[in-house]
Every structure is written in C-alpha cells, then in structure tokens.
Structure 1
Amino acid sequence: MARTESLSLTVGTFAAVPNGGILQRSENDALSYTGDEQNFADVMLEIAKLGVTWLGGCCGTTPAHIRVLVERLQELGAVGELADFNSPVRKRESDANRTPARVVEETPYEVIRPMGESLVDKLKTQATVIVELDPPKTLECERFIQGARELRAAGADMITMADNSLGTVRVSNMALASMLKQFGIEPLVHVTCRDRNLIGQQSHLMGLHVLGIRNILLITGDPSRYGDLPGASSVYDVSSIDLTKMVRRLNEGVGFSGKQLKKPAQFVIGTAFNPHVRNFPKAVERLRRKVEAGADYVMTQPVYDERTMEQIALATRDLGVPVMIGIMPLTSLRNAEFLHHQVPGITIPEDVLLAMREATPDQAGEAGYQLAERLCDAALSYFRGIYLVTPFLKYDLTVRLTQHIRMGSLVTP
C-alpha cells in the first residue's frame, strides 16, 4: 500500500463525494448537516485544484449543493465541455509549480500476539483453569480482590469477569481488570453487545487494549429487562458474530469504520456456547459461524451432567479451537431451582435437582460442591480447559475446586 504525503495528485483518475458537512441533531431530534451550499462549493473547488476530476456529493447534499458547485466551476471555466482542473493543458501549466507527491511504501500490518504464552497456547498443552468472579454491585471491592488473589494462589490461570450479567449494574469489569493486573493476576474480560453502541464499543475495546488487557469474551448479553434497571435500553447494534468479525479486524489494524489504527490490536477472542437449547445442532452451527468469524476459543454455560459434556465434545471436535467447559457449584436447593427456572442458558438435570431436594439444608452446600468436583473430574476426560463460575462471590468453593483440579492428573481428550 502506498500513501501520498502532499496535497497534489499526479496519476490516476480520482473522485470526491463528501458529505454536506457534519451530521447534527437539533433540539427536536431532527437530523441535518452543518455545511451550506456555498461552503460545500468552496471546499469542492479546493479539492478540484488538487487534480480530482469527478466531483459529487454524498449524505446531506441536495440538488442545490450541486447547482451552486456547477455554477462556481463554470465561472472558472472548468465546466462546459467537461473541462477539469486536471486536463493536460492545466497539468502542463501547473506542473512547474507543483510539489511532486512523495510516496511512502507501507508494509501490510502483521497481527502480533500478546507477549508470552496466551490462553490458547495454554489450552493446547495443559489443564487450564479460568475462574469467574462477579464484580460487586457496590463500591466495596475488597472481597473481590481478596478472592482473586486466593484463586490465583490456588492455581487459577486467569480471573474472568462478566459485563453486568443478567442486566444488573456492577462495577466496571475494565476497572477491576486493571486492578488485577497490578497484583500480577491476568484478567479475562467479558464484552456484551447490550450496553454500548458501536462508538462506545470500539472505545471500550481500545481502552482495554491500552490497559494491557488482551483476553476477552464476546457475548450477546442478557436483555436489560432481566436486571435491576428494567427501563434501561438494550443497544444490540450488532450480534456477537458481527462483533467477533469487527474485533478480528481490530487485530488487523482496522477500526470499525474502516479507518487504519496505525498498529494492530492483540486480542485473544473468546465466544460463548449454550448447549441447553431445544435445537442442539442449530446451536452448534451458530457456534461454527462464530469460529469462522474469528473466535480463538469457546467457553460454555455451566453444565451439570457428563452426558452433555460428551455431547459438546463430539459436536465441537472439528472446530479447530479449544473449548472450556463451564462448571458452577450449587449452594442450595433454592439456588439450583432458581438457576434451572429463572436464568437463561442454564438447565439442571432432574436427577441433580432430586439430589439437592433430598439433601438437608445443612448438607445441600456440600452436596453441590461434591457434584462440581465430580464434574471437574469428568470434564478433564474431554477438555483441557475448565471454566469455574463462583456463586455469590463464595470463592472458597472455587478455590477448593481449583486445588482439586491441580492435584488431579490430566487425561488428554
């Protein structure tokens, strides 16, 4: 690719069709453009003097804009027999005073992976444990930080944080991720399509990158009506598949608008998979589209039986990207029934619900933990990665599970 660094064009045929100014919104929400006809013509005349031979207008221009432009060009003798400022005669007259264009050769952007071993690299060679901690709903963050530090000490490879899960307002996971890096803990940040339009979304991702946060999970996000601000709007400018494509473009050095970023991003892109659907093959096909869009790895919703793990393993074995199976310990019968009936994307088998019903209230928490431990053992028969979800910030449960996984032996899938 070549870039010209002067205000003159020497080769080729060029066209210019700019907007009629800058888009603005009035107090009554009407949309308009700031440029009037005379200003538009002034700018276009300057463009014509650079050697552009085709002139026109895009958004915000009207027949009046073009009429004024043609009149101004006719006054200068540039319109009639379609004469232009780049005609051979004019070129000969102006070449003596024109500064030759200086061409700078640019090499294509090369996608550079994060320094050191990435999450995907880990998943290829060893049992990997990612633990989710919910960002707090208040400004008290001490327990969150303490939990993250204990999980890291127990052997967790990364701490992952949802992006206002279930539409509930929480402390920004970007802020918490930055804090974790100060403690030497690697964060994995969820990014939803729900809360930010495309302007905010690219700005958010650029902010994550500037902070040195590379591992992300792109998800659709639960609708706002599920949360504590049901009147809040859900944005959803794009789907998670589209967002995956756009972040992949960031990794190529190109912004959402198509503008160059001067250097490429280095995101490791994760995507989510919900196996608890009526049409499992259709869900797998959608997952395949996410991988084709650029996802580097997959994290599933929590799973509560080995049969579903085996089904996922068989369905995803040819995707070409690692899969991390989700496991979340149950804390009580009430917790189990709430997850089963009220939380989108989670289904608990009837035999597990029955076991939780048969346990006494004092025994239910330990019963839920023992089930999670068995699920971790089973998961390592199919997957190298386990994605532990901490319930209610009870990180003592996921600390125990992380230690259990680290003490176990890896069975290669």
Structure 2
Amino acid sequence: MLNEKFVITIEVVPPDGPDPSELLKALGKLADLAFYGFSVATNPVAKPRMSAMALCALIQRHTGKPAILHLTTRDHNRLSLQGELWGARALGLQTVMVATGDFVALKDRHHTTTVRDADVYDLVGMAREAGFKTGVVFDTHPESNGLPQAVGHLKRKVDAGAQFAVTQPVYDDAGADAIAKATADINIPMIMGILPLRTPRHAEFLHSRVAGIAVPETLRHRMHAAADPVVEGAANAREMLAIARQRFAGACIMPPFDHYEVLDEIL
C-alpha cells in the first residue's frame, strides 16, 4: 500500500448482524473501479457491528482486493488486542488502522464499558511488532481549532511507529491546504478523508453534531440550493479527490449509509 503513488481506499461499515451477503454483493460490483482496497471500520459510533476482522477476510476472499482492519483500544484489553493482531495476520491481513475508538454514548454506559488498558501509542507499537503496516487517525477537531494539538498527537504516534495517517473528512481547499502545511514536516504519507454528502440535512448534521467534521458554509448553501443534492455531494467529493491528488498521498472515500453506488460518480 505505502509503495503506490496515490492510494485510494473505500471505507466499509460492517453489517449490524451476522449476514454479510448483501454488503459483499455491493462491494463486489466495485472491484473494477480504480482503487487500492477497502478500509473496514470496527463498531463505529460505539455500536455493535459484525467483527471487522471477519469481514476483512471475507472481503479479501470475495473481491480479491486488500482489506485494512480498524482496531481500537476501546473494545479490547491487551490480551485481546494481541490475539486480534495475531489472528488478523493468520487470516492474511497486512495493514491495520489503529484508533482510540468513538466514545460510548452516555445513555449506553449503564450496559457498555470502555476498556482502554492500552493507549493508542501502545497499540501502534504492538501492531508494528506483529508485522503490520500501521496507520492512525488524524483528527484536527476543527470545531475547536484543534490543528496544532492534532499535529502534536500525530508526531507522538509517528514516534511510536505509525507509518501513515488518515484525516477526518475534508470539504474544501482551505481545509486541505491547512492540513497539508501543518503536516509537511511529518515524514509519513497523509491520506485525506472524503465523505460524500447526501442531503442538506446530512451536511448540517455533520457540521453541527459530529465532532471532527466541519462542512463549510458555502458548501452547505450549495447543498440547499442544489436541484439534486446527491449529485452535488458527489461533485464535491470529486473536487476533494482532485485536491487530494495535489496535496496528499492518497484518499479514503467514506460512502455514507452504505450508498456504495456513489463511487461510480466519484471514481
């Protein structure tokens, strides 16, 4: 992965049940598009989903493309993390994305606990020792002007062994330029996150309710004014992919709500 000139991955959210057949069918239809492989989330927004490791193995078998396993400190103690890493290697996975994991919602904390007896820096080291190409998340918290702090965290992750980083979704040239300049002296590939917008409500929700994402006012106006918001969202995603090719080592496209068909318009 890290040797390719420009890497495009597609993020996949596992199903909320034991049957992956419909998802695998949708992903199989993408196999002829020009991208490297799939990046498989693990229990996003702290809700239970099918094992990301199991789905990675199924995706590789079904599509012939590589799958990147997301692994969080939220869900496992050190014993389990080590077992997950060895199991993933045994299943033929080569790359992991290491993260702390989304916080468990307050209303769920009476029946769901967070583990985190290892931190993200520990897990980066464990993944490298297990022989993985190891990536991390770069979250600038634009809602609180968190770019300088994010750069500091990223440098610590690189010191721990991180080999690439994926940003949270970026929606305009100014945001991409700020990240590119702030990370210019960090000697790892930076992959830009791209999350296509679906509706004006989707844009407003991401901007106001999702930490780490800022949708510029001009783009929100575009979505409200668009005759077809889905087409407008895909157009912005294409714009961001072009910007990523100029400033970053790759892009991770995150199709919303399992709408993988939008990738035909973007790629």
Return the TM-score normalized by structure 1.
0.61
For residue 375 of structure 1, give the secondary structure of its aligned residue in structure 2. helix
Which residue in 2 is equivalent to 1:170?
49
Which residue in 1 is equivalent to 2:29?
150
Q: Which runs of 4+ in 1 moved over 4 A?
A: 226-230
1:205 corresponds to 2:85: yes
Which residue in 1 is equivalent to 2:114?
234
Partner Cα distance (1:159, 1:147) in 2: 12
Partner Cα distance (2:170, 2:106) in 1: 22
What's the offset of the Cα at 1:156?
A: 1.8
Partner Cα distance (1:169, 1:182) in 2: 23
Which residue in 1 is equivalent to 2:258?
393
Q: Which has the higher helix share?
A: 2
1:295 corresponds to 2:177: no
What's the offset of the Cα at 1:282?
A: 1.4
For residue 153 of structure 1, give the secondary structure of its aligned residue in structure 2. coil
Partner Cα distance (2:107, 2:242) in 1: 34
Which residue in 2 is equivalent to 1:407?
none
For residue 222 of structure 1, give the secondary structure of its aligned residue in structure 2. coil
Contact 1:168 1:229 in 2 (8 A): no
The one-letter code sitting in structure 1 at the alignment partner of 2:146 is N
* Cα pair distance change 1:139/1:196, threshold 3 Å: same
Partner Cα distance (2:176, 2:51) in 1: 32
For residue 238 of structure 1, give the secondary structure of its aligned residue in structure 2. coil
Which of 372, 381, 398 lines up with 2:246 in the alignment?
381
The one-letter code sitting in structure 1 at the alignment partner of 2:36 is D
Return the TM-score normalized by structure 2.
0.93
Matched residue count: 264
What's the offset of the Cα at 1:228?
A: 6.6
What's the offset of the Cα at 1:227?
A: 8.5
Partner Cα distance (1:212, 1:192) in 2: 19
Partner Cα distance (1:187, 1:279) in 2: 30
* Cα deviation code 1:375-406 (max 9, x no counterpart): 1112211113011001111001123322xxxx
Which residue in 1 is equivalent to 2:190?
323
* Cα deviation code 1:248-297 (max 9, x no counterpart): 3x2xxxxxxxxxxxxxx320000110123323111111111111110011
Larger deviation, residues 303-312 vs 177-186: 177-186
What's the offset of the Cα at 1:326?
A: 0.5
Contact 1:167 1:228 in 2 (8 A): no
Partner Cα distance (2:261, 2:138) in 1: 26
- Structure 2: give runs of 5+ residues left out of the alignment: none
Partner Cα distance (2:28, 2:107) in 1: 29
Partner Cα distance (1:394, 1:228) in 2: 28
What's the offset of the Cα at 1:135?
A: 0.7
The one-letter code sitting in structure 1 at the alignment partner of 2:2 is V
Partner Cα distance (2:50, 2:136) in 1: 22
Which residue in 2 is equivalent to 1:138?
17
What's the offset of the Cα at 1:311?
A: 1.1
The one-letter code sitting in structure 2 at the alignment partner of 1:349 is P
Which residue in 1 is equivalent to 2:123?
243
* Cα pair distance change 1:376/1:228, threshold 3 Å: farther
For residue 243 of structure 1, give the secondary structure of its aligned residue in structure 2. helix
Which of 180, 189, 193 lines up with 1:313 in the alignment?
180
Contact 1:197 1:235 in 2 (8 A): yes
* Cα pair distance change 1:358/1:159, threshold 3 Å: same
The residue correspondences of 1:105-124 to structure 2 (distance < 5 A) are 119-122=1-4
Which residue in 1 is equivalent to 2:38?
159
Higher radius of gyration, 1 or 2: 1
Alignment RMSD (CA, Å): 1.7
Which residue in 2 is equivalent to 1:60?
none
* Cα deviation code 1:112-146 (max 9, x no counterpart): xxxxxxx1111xxx222100111111233122112
Partner Cα distance (2:106, 2:207) in 1: 15
Partner Cα distance (2:107, 2:265) in 1: 30
The residue correspondences of 1:13-412 to structure 2 (distance < 5 A) are 119-122=1-4, 126-183=5-62, 184-225=64-105, 231-248=111-128, 250=129, 265-277=130-142, 278-360=145-227, 363-402=228-267
* Cα pair distance change 1:229/1:131, threshold 3 Å: farther
- Structure 1: give runs of 5+ residues left out of the alignment: 1-118, 251-264, 403-413
Identity of aligned residues (%): 32
The one-letter code sitting in structure 1 at the alignment partner of 2:197 is L
Partner Cα distance (1:149, 1:354) in 2: 35
